[in-house]
Chains A and B, each alone.
Chain A
Amino acid sequence: MRFMMLMIPKGYEQAAPGAMPDAKAVAAMMKYNEALQKAGVLLALDGLHPPSMGARVSFPGGRPVVKDGPFAEAKEVVGGYWMIQVASREEAIEWAKRCPGGENETIEIRQVQEMSDFPDDVRQAASGFEKMPKDPGAPKA
């Protein structure tokens, strides 16, 4: 089972462009990341710049509308994520509990949908994906 652990730091929705976590917190987090890696469960991880450097694309009436960050309406935003592969939801929770999280941080655990979770018609639709035109400039790897 694959899970995404989403880090939600309170206040990050209002953080200034270029805001960075402090070095001590990063050092503790590196140790945690290493533990995930050593256990062979870590697939990927990334930290995200604050929303003040991002943009939101919404589709009112089916047409894209772009709005630059920060977003006054956002109550909580994602600051980063870990993608892990574990045997159970309990194991994902146990790993999240080991994170050296701060007072204002929350980790949300969400299971990744897999092809086998979908009913037949959705799987059929997904297997038509390949017929979509591909970007000829995309890297080959």
Chain B
Amino acid sequence: MSDSATRGAIEAVFRIEAPRLIAALARFTRDLGRAEDLAQDALVAALEEWPRQGVPQNPAAWLMATAKHRAIDLFRRDVRRARVHEEIARDAGDAAPPEPDPDVDAGEGDDLLRLMFAACHPLLPPESRVALTLRVLGGLTTQAIARAYLLPEPTIAQRIVRAKRTLAEARVPFEIPRGAEREARLASVLEVLYLAFNEGYAATSGEEWMRPDLSHEALRLARVLCGLAPYEPEAFGLAALMEIQASRFAARRGPGGEPVLLLDQNRALWDPLLVQRGLRALERAERLADVRGPYLLQAAIAACHARARTADETDWGAIVSLYDELLERLPSPVVALNRAVAVGKTSGPQAALDLVDALAEDPALAHYHFMPSVRGDLLERLGRRAEARAEFERAAAMTGNARERDLLRKRAARCGAGNW
């Protein structure tokens, strides 16, 4: 094997092992930042030793043993320092470092779940939660995350460093929250995964309209979460939603890379394997749920589209009732806007336009390009082409994504200039 091939193989091992490694080390050291550093040290050691001595029989065990030895060394150093510190300051409360948890190898799955909860801690700003999650659970390099978000590498690096410091300073316990807290914390984990998925699904900026690698990574983590929390209906709801949305990747971009809207998509290009996985996850979510949560309901809406063989066969009545239920769970103007689109299919464009106009003053929609884009569509269907054109132009000016802007401009042009 060439050096670069060996390096690639080692990095592949590390990507597979990193989350479990960091999770076990975080419980051992009770410090996520240190755990991640230790895992990185183990990777550096592997990159030095494996090309010379060959990849060990059990690379996971090798990485863990290496990291653990280093953790113990660091712990001893900290104890020595603490003693010195204690003698000088007599500040016992602050001085003693936490004892490492000796039971390093127990409860691997629980460790991963703890790691997810810690990385998505509400103490951190949402963009830091996403970066930290992709780093410690996705095993992505800072460079890969920066590329996915089209941000400079130091920006992401700083987010991760700050996030780890915040968690350490707040002494956030490395735990699986229970009771009422669990629900809120789980919601944060789900939100982080969906944010990452959406960033790949409809890139908010840049030339490319989709960055599927990022979405696939978020989907993978949602599947992992389902394995770790097999009785959480919303975890399965989110996984179902992502599987179904991911099934449309090939259909969502035209031959020239331009976006293709859901109802215009060639359904033969939808990935049947992911559709089936999505429907199965949705079934499981439905079985587990006492009350249907927001992700489950969004997945159920996506499933209505997935089940329709053609756009004309879409059960819009079912979709409107699902939006009604979703609006109860999650009263948000964005949901209301989507509901209005569905109403436009059951009750005609005027009924929908009335609903949309009722939302016009909502500040949450003021910068949302979907708002003028929906109005444009409804106005076009009502034959009010000049107004439609102006709305599409407005939407085009609001989106940060070049591909989407092109599509909106085309729709504006289609409404013609003659009606002014």
Contacts and interface: CB of A to CB of B under 8 A. Distances in A.
A116 B216 CA distance: 15
Contacts of A114: 250
B223 A115 contact: no
A141 B8 contact: no
B24 to A, nearest CB: 15
A24 to B, nearest CB: 21
Interface stretch (A8-16, A36-44, A67-75): A36-44
A22 interface: no
7 contacts: A39-B220, A83-B273, A94-B9, A127-B266, A140-B308, A141-B279, A141-B307
Contacts of A123: 255
Given A94-B9, A123-B255, A87 B213 contact: yes
A134 interface: yes
Contacts of A55: none
A69 to B, nearest CB: 27
Interface in A92-108: 93-95
Interface string B5-49: 000110111011000000000000000000000000000000000
B12 A115 contact: no
A20 to B, nearest CB: 26
A-B CB proximity, top 9 nearest: A40-B223, A90-B12, A40-B220, A115-B250, A129-B268, A40-B224, A94-B12, A90-B8, A91-B12
B106 to A, nearest CB: 16
Interface residues of A, number: 30
A58 interface: no
B269 interface: yes
Given A95-B16, A130-B266, A130-B268, A85 B220 contact: yes
B273 A44 contact: yes
A34 to B, nearest CB: 9
Interface string A75-88: 00000000101011
A14 to B, nearest CB: 31
A126 interface: yes
B224 A38 contact: yes
Contacts of A115: 250, 269
A39 B12 CA distance: 13
A81 to B, nearest CB: 12
A117 to B, nearest CB: 11
B226 to A, nearest CB: 8
A11 B217 CA distance: 38
A94 B55 CA distance: 11
